[in-house]
Amino acid sequence: MGEGKRLSFWWDHWCGEGCLANKFSRLYLLSAGKENTCHQMGNASNGSWKWNLKWRRNLYEWEAAEAMELQKMIEDEKISEGVPDRWKWTHDKRGQYSTKTAYSLLTLEQGEVNEAKTFKRIWNPSFPSKISAFNWQLLLNRIPTKANLLRRGVIKDATEAKCALCNEEEEDSTHLFLNCKIARWVWMACSKWWGTNITVNRDCWNTFQLIGKGTKGSNIRECMDCMWKTVVWSMWKTVVWSMWIARNQKIFHNKEDKEINLGKLFELIQMRSFLWIKAKKERYAFNLTDWLINTAQCLKSTVGSRRLH
């Protein structure tokens, strides 16, 4: 970072790994300067830089603790007046800039800032409210994963924060629901089932946004454009909820430390999604077997005939 005039305080990766909006998602929502550059988030007095973060309301105690953590993290990063910022392209494995990675980032950025829309997508009244609540907490990274418990001091030792499903890496929400080998298996099974490629993105928030955009060539999407988003978001909610339940059962009820039963987990996902999508509109006339074998046709039958041609 140089003078910080070209760096977005919340969205650019200028301080440690990743962006601050993801690391401190709650604070980002409360920030009075969501679009600010680094340079706009403080001022220089007597030749030294001072961060000055402003919030939309007074912070509660636990939020203030997070703000302190953020302050601590950025305190060593100083603005150098008159020195231009320099970019390093970290979104590509080889560190090379490409239009493709830039484009996907830009399209994501638009989704990221729109919390109100996301909130509406999560709080679908026909869905069980505990699942909507869980999903909203998940997107804000406030569910009690082991990494979050460690951060809050509930777990003291990092070795106890290993993923409950694979026991290989730290259990944060990105790992648990997207990158864990179990999660990858589940998303791959869903991809096959829906006949589409599900793109897992850098965290749950972004994957949730991206999944709604869908992938061309999906047999579900082609026959039911108007329903696609509702269905795919319902599916997402079902998948992450089912994984969370499986994870909790493994922690709290699995004394023999058995491997998780993937087939059973996937069956539960299929079953739950069937029940919830069906509960949404009673007139859906398909049965469970149809749903499992011929999902696209089921969804097609739920859309008015004008959509079929």
Measure Cα distances from 189 to 119, 184, 204, 266 in Å: 27, 9, 18, 8
Interface with Zn ion (CB under 5 A), residue total: 4
Pick the closer one to Zn ion by CB: 163 or 277: 163
- With respect to Zn ion, which residue has the nearer C-beta, 23 or 146? 146
Give a three-class secondary structure readout of the chain. Answer: CCCCCCCECCCCCCCCCCCHHHHCHHHHHHECCCCCEHHHHEEEECCEEEECCCECCCCCHHHHHHHHHHHHHHCCCCCCCCCCCCCCCCCCCCCCCCHHHHHHHHHHHHHHCCHHHHHHHHCCCCCCHHHHHHHHHHHCCCCCCHHHHHHCCCCCCHHHHECCCCCCCECCHHHHHHHCHHHHHHHHHHHHHHCCCCCCCCCHHHHHHHHHHCCCCCHHHHHCHHHHHHHHHHHHHHHHHHHHHHHHHHHHHCCCCCCCCHHHHHHHHHHHHHHHHHHHCCCCCCCHHHHHHCHHHHHHHHCCHHHCC
Residue closer to Zn ion, measured from CB, 71 or 248: 248
Least Å from the CB of residue 164 to Zn ion: 8
CB of 205 to Zn ion, least distance (A): 19
Query: Whole-number minimum distance, CB 75 to Zn ion, in Å?
Result: 33
Q: Judged by CB under 5 A, does residue 165 bind Zn ion?
A: yes
Examine residue 180 and tell whether it contacts Zn ion (CB under 5 A).
yes
Closest approach, Cβ 55 to Zn ion, in A, equals 35
Q: 70 vs 182, which CB is nearer to Zn ion?
A: 182
Q: Which of residues 38-77 bind Zn ion (CB under 5 A)?
A: none
Q: Judged by CB, which is closer to Zn ion: 180, or 299?
A: 180
> Minimum CB separation from Zn ion for residue 175, in Å?
6
Q: Which amino acid is at 77?
A: E
Nearer to Zn ion, 141 or 295 (CB): 141
**166 lines the binding site for Zn ion (CB under 5 A):** yes
Q: Which stretch binds Zn ion (CB under 5 A): 157-165, 206-214, 220-228, 252-260?
A: 157-165
- Kindly state the tokens that stand for 106: 């830009």
User: CA 26, 10, 95 angle in degrees (round to 5)?
Assistant: 125
Of the candidate spans 52-60, 175-183, 239-247, 280-288, the one that interacts with Zn ion by CB under 5 A turns out to be 175-183
Minimum CB separation of residue 167 from Zn ion in Å reads 7
- 163 scored as a contact of Zn ion (CB under 5 A): yes
Least spacing, CB of residue 35 vs Zn ion, in Å: 35
The answer to whether 198 contacts Zn ion (rule: CB under 5 A) is no
Residues 102 to 141: which contact Zn ion by CB under 5 A? none
Residue closer to Zn ion by CB (options 136, 185) is: 185
Residues of this chain that bind Zn ion (CB under 5 A)? 163, 165-166, 180
